[in-house]
Structure 1
């Protein structure tokens, strides 16, 4: 409506200018009318700018709220996992006690090693240096375990100086990890692993998500980031497009590689502030 009003006022001003030469419309000879039209033509763009800025602010606030909800959900799932382990602890103790009582030392040792492995899996996630990523990776690890996928995460540097807001980090990593886990979900068990690394090299951050299979033909690299492009059934094909848009906005770059030796990797390179 504001654009239409601006166009209407601009048309009137154009007629006023023409009327000065041809005197077609007597009404337009009024100085007051001319001044009012000019004033509105000046005010309406200012209102438009204010409303556009307001719309962008509301959109960003909505995105932040959605990410905060996802973050809280991740934390709740983390607590649920820990509570579940504590709840099961008494049962594990009873089983090990029974084994020791019956001199089944080797069985008790094997049982304890498996139990410790499960606990360390959660502990490793908690010890990551960034709380947002800790919650995100823990949730993804829980999902990966249900799908019999191994998710390895390595963070070598804090995220100080990163040109990304927390909800943007969640969007980038969440989409890349989901994409990688979906890719390996139909692969044989030896290929069902996803490796995530966060490191800083000179003046850039490098985030990398790698899955050993399936491989991608280099001719398809550019298509991967097109909206709605997907090789999976019942998949929106929007995840990588969202990642590309975010990375482009901050002057970053996404590099795709796929080879027999190293598998398929998506590397996000972001300049330090």
Structure 2
């Protein structure tokens, strides 16, 4: 539609209209072009947000399904343990209980005290790390849901932070052959929420470090990554009056975020 309108504006100019009329048509043409560009950018942002919402919905549904499944099977596990203990099968019961605890630990780490959408993204990141052969550690003094931030922004923040860490740690693990561990810590100190993520990382070039979290298209990862996540993290930090700092030393990358505890 915009192209057709602009075409109709160009035709009179080519037919030799008066100077003033030509200038007015040119200004209208420029205005339409600016409007078209602006609407295109907004539409692009809406499409990205829609994709994020769809991913978040899938994560939440999967977490809910797993919790329901574990609750449904709980009494069956208790009955099995009861039978083993009644028949003095203590070693078998211990092995069975260890396997059971390992399975529940994955879900419990993600959902304790968290709102649904936050539990969903944490659970998905835990599973993604486990699938990549990595160890994911959540060390939180209080639920991340207590952060004075909308669920939408918090999901985007956590999703980008943790997915970046998983990608970097997976590359490091593949290169070194050692098992990678990602640690996320969350606490509240002196009126500040402090969120820290640490992961192993290959060497990052100085020019990349200088522009990291500042510019779109800058990434520490190889392949076809676009470097959008780091810039989005910084945008959220700025929006909520936070502070971001990062350190890369001895093949370890640490990013620390601080947000004022103001609702």
- Structure-1-length-normalised TM-score: 0.66
Separation in 2 of the partners of 1:83 and 1:70? Answer: 20
* 1:265 matched to 2:254: yes
Match of 1:149 among 134, 140, 145: 134
1:65 aligned to 37, 46, 50, which one? Answer: 50
Are 2:219 and 2:230, in contact at CA under 8 Å, matched by a contact in 1? no
SS of aligned partner of 2:124: helix
Shift of 1:137: 1.0
Partner of 1:36: 21
For residue 49 of structure 2, give the secondary structure of its aligned residue in structure 1: helix
Query: Cα RMSD between the aligned structures?
Result: 4.4
State the alpha-carbon separation in 1 of the partners of residues 20 and 141 from structure 2: 64
Aligned equivalent of 2:63: 78
| Distance in 1 between residues matched to 2:141 and 2:42, nearest whole Å | 32
Q: Are positions 1:222 and 2:209 aligned together?
A: yes
Contact 1:198 1:208 (8 Å CA) reproduced: yes
Q: Deviations over 1:126-147 (max 9, x none)?
A: 1254543321110111233344
1:52 maps to what in 2?
37
Quote the Cα distance in structure 2 between the aligned partners of 1:49 and 1:231: 34
- The aligned runs of 1:169-184 (5 Å cut-off) are 169=157, 171-183=159-171
Q: 1:204 to 1:37 in 2, by over 3 A?
A: farther
Q: Where does 1:154-169 land on structure 2 (aligned, <5 Å)?
A: 154=140, 156=142, 158-160=146-148, 165-166=153-154, 168-169=156-157
Distance 1:145 1:168, change over 3 A: closer
**Distance (Å, rounded) in 1 between the aligned partners of 2:201 and 2:108:** 30
Distance 1:58 1:237, change over 3 A: closer
CA distance in 1 between counterparts of 2:108 and 2:153 reads 25
Q: How does 1:81-92 map to 2 (within 5 A)?
A: 81-86=66-71, 88-89=73-74, 92=77
Unaligned runs of 5+ in 1: 13-26
2:130 is equivalent to residue 140 of structure 1: no
Scaled by the length of structure 2, what TM-score is found?
0.68
With over 3 angstroms needed to count, the CA separation of the structure-2 counterparts of 1:87 and 1:131, relative to structure 1, is closer
Cα separation, partners in 2 of 1:214 and 1:171, compared to 1, 3 Å: closer
Which ranges of structure 2 fall in alignment gaps of 5 or more residues? none
For 1:202-235, what per-residue CA distance to the aligned partner results, in whole angstroms no more than 9, with x for missing partners? 7876542212x45536747528958486666xx4
Secondary structure (helix, strand or coil) at the match of 1:165 reads helix
- Displacement after TM superposition at 1:96 (Å): 1.7
